[in-house]
């Protein structure tokens, strides 16, 4: 399989922007698309701000920033991805949304193009079956924030061929990431371990064992975590946390993965964390304030 040179990114949210950022910085041409016109319009500016922070910190040069931005092409239509060597889907963590995207994307791609999904929990085998190329379909789960976190989970579906895995692994290395192979079980490796811990922290809050501040302080100082589990949940997005827990609960049929009712309530209220400016903390002021 030839080297991947042109990457399409579907989704201009936090993850999609981060993926476009690292691909462009690694010298790849990137087309980023999103059905949300506002998110797409803001994408390049947000990426520029992120690159500027890297310049200030001495991680890249001003010339690197300018070259990376020149390689990023925002496009409103999926048809702009027709020449891509790989399309990386980074849409919301809902299976029906991803399937709908593949239905529109697949007829536009060249036959040899690979498709990767940045899903954090959904079956790769099942998603691949919604396309015309299960052998060329793979899970490529980046960690958030993408420009900072070095891990990428690579997940084969049952039909993923070895050439697809090898090409995706080479791409991850080109991006400066450390690829780790994971089997196609619900939530893979990181979220299989991380999200139940976050869910248990929410249960600890729900049952009144500790306050938001007490739980986060205890885990930062007692387990040496850089960020408390409730603060981390806000950073990830409480809707994403809930989606992953639902995938674990439904996929493994074990009561230990039951989403905490308090997590469900926060999502129902629209308190989704940092992106909504309110979750387990309120972010409207100069410093986050616990909401419980």
Catalytic (active-site) positions: 120, 141, 153, 191
Single out the residue of 165, 221, 233 nearest to residue 196, CA to CA. Answer: 233
- State the DSSP H helix or E strand holding residue 140, giving kind and residue range, or none if neither: strand 137-142
Residue 36 is encoded by which pair of tokens?
A: 């949300």
Place of tokens 């698309």: 33
Beta bridge mates, 33? 10, 75
Contact 173, 47 (CB under 8 A): no
Residue 145 is encoded by which pair of tokens?
A: 């924030």
**In the 8-state DSSP scheme, what is residue 147?**
T
Spatial separation of the C-alpha atoms in residues 91 and 77, rounded to whole Å = 15
Contact 32, 17 (CB under 8 A): yes
Residue 240 CB: number of other CB atoms within 10 A? 22
């Amino acid at each position: 399989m030839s080297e991947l040179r042109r990457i399409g990114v579907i989704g201009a949210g936090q993850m999609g922007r981060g993926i476009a950022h690292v691909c462009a910085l690694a010298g790849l041409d990137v087309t980023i698309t999103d059905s949300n016109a506002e998110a797409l319009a803001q994408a390049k500016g947000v990426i520029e701000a992120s690159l500027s922070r890297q310049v200030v910190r001495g991680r890249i040069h001003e010339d690197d920033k300018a070259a990376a931005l020149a390689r990023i092409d925002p496009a409103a239509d999926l048809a702009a991805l027709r020449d891509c060597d790989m399309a990386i889907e980074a849409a919301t963590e809902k299976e029906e949304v991803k399937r709908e995207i593949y239905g529109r994307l697949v007829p536009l791609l060249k036959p040899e193009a690979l498709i990767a999904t940045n899903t954090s929990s959904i079956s790769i085998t099942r998603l691949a079956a919604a396309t015309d190329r299960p052998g060329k379909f793979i899970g490529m789960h980046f960690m958030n924030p993408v420009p900072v976190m070095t891990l990428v989970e690579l997940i084969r579906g049952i039909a993923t061929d070895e050439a697809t895995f090898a090409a995706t692994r080479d791409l991850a290395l080109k991006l400066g990431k450390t690829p780790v192979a994971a089997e196609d079980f619900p939530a893979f490796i990181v979220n299989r371990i991380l999200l139940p811990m976050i869910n248990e922290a929410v249960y600890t809050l729900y049952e009144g064992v500790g306050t938001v501040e007490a739980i986060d302080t205890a885990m930062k100082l007692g387990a040496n975590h850089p960020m408390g589990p409730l603060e981390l949940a806000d950073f990830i997005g409480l809707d994403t946390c809930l989606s992953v827990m639902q995938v674990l609960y439904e996929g493994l049929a074990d009561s230990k993965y039951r989403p905490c009712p308090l997590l469900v309530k926060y999502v129902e209220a629209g308190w989704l964390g940092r992106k909504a400016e309110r979750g387990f903390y309120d972010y409207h002021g100069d410093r986050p304030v616990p909401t419980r």
